[in-house]
Amino acid sequence: MSDQTDQDAAQPPEAASEQTKYAILEAAIKLFGAKGFEATTVRDLITEADVNLAAVNYHFGGKDGLRMAVIDHLATQFRQKGPGVALAGLDQAEIGIMSPEKARETLRFIMKTSFKMAASGGGPDLRARYIQRELIQGGEPTERFFEKVFSFQFNLMVQLVARATERAVDDEITRVRAINLIAQSVFLNLARPLVLLALGWDEYTPENVDLVGDAFWLHHE
């Protein structure tokens, strides 16, 4: 059995057995994100992680157990250094007294920052890519991630949108608009192959990323 070092999963652990678990988790994020859960075999995983075939079942109880462990692993990473709202360092009290202009400015900063984090840095952000895959799929992984991570950040977005558009926070249009903001950032990463084709780009260069930051739909009516 393993001890309780699950709280801190940000950097590689010290104990040998924890290193094995960590290597498998990182390999899973990479391969699940790139090829999808179903298309990734356990033998792909153990080759990438350079561990024994039985390690996945020994440490995580099976491929499905690994899937859930990856969700939790990513959830802690996102809690510590999540994209978007968390970066702005806001709390609800601050948002409540924001001017619409300031709220829009904050939203655009959040959108830019979160997109930049996902898009830049060489290849695709496989962490974000895997999360987005799971969120699309539905079922237990989606609910698990929604509760653990998304719910909190989404509510902050809703409050910012409410200030930005001068509408009530419990207005359903406000909530849909918050989603439609997230949708723009997520889609540009998730459907990257199509987007690059449509824009005639080879990849997301720093110049392209800056340009996208100015193109989000985010105005007052």
Partner DNA sequence: ACCTGTATCAAACATCTGTTTGATAGACAA
Partner DNA sequence: TTGTCTATCAAACAGATGTTTGATACAGGT
Tell me whether residue 91 or residue 221 sits nearer to a second copy (CB atom).
Answer: 221
Indicate which single residue of 132, 149, 159, 204 sits in contact with a second copy (rule: CB under 8 A).
132
Rule CB under 7 A: is residue 58 a binding residue for DNA?
yes
> What's the chain's length in residues?
221
Indicate which single residue of 1, 93, 97, 198 sits in contact with DNA (rule: CB under 7 A).
1
CA angle 172, 128, 33 (to 5 degrees): 125
Residue 111: count other Cβ atoms within 10 Å of its Cβ: 20
Within residues 18-47, the interface with DNA by CB under 7 A covers 19-20, 40-43
Q: Which H or E run includes 221?
A: none
Query: What is the C-alpha separation between 163 and 92, in angstroms, rounded?
Result: 11
Query: What is the C-alpha separation between 19 and 15, in angstroms, rounded?
Result: 6
Three-class DSSP category at 95 = helix
Using CB under 8 A as the binding criterion, the count of chain residues that bind a second copy stands at 48
Three-class DSSP category at 91 = coil
Rule CB under 7 A: is residue 140 a binding residue for DNA?
no
Residue pair 163/103 in contact by the 8 Å Cβ criterion: yes
Residue pair 32/133 in contact by the 8 Å Cβ criterion: yes
Tell me whether residue 59 or residue 163 sits nearer to DNA (CB atom).
Answer: 59
Indicate which single residue of 80, 187, 203, 205 sits in contact with a second copy (rule: CB under 8 A).
187
Rule CB under 8 A: is residue 168 a binding residue for a second copy?
no
Binding stretches for a second copy (CB under 8 A): 36, 38-39, 132, 135-139, 142-143, 146, 150-151, 154, 172-173, 175-177, 179-184, 186-188, 190-195, 197-199, 211-212, 214-221
Binding stretches for DNA (CB under 7 A): 1-2, 16-17, 19-20, 40-43, 51-59, 62-64
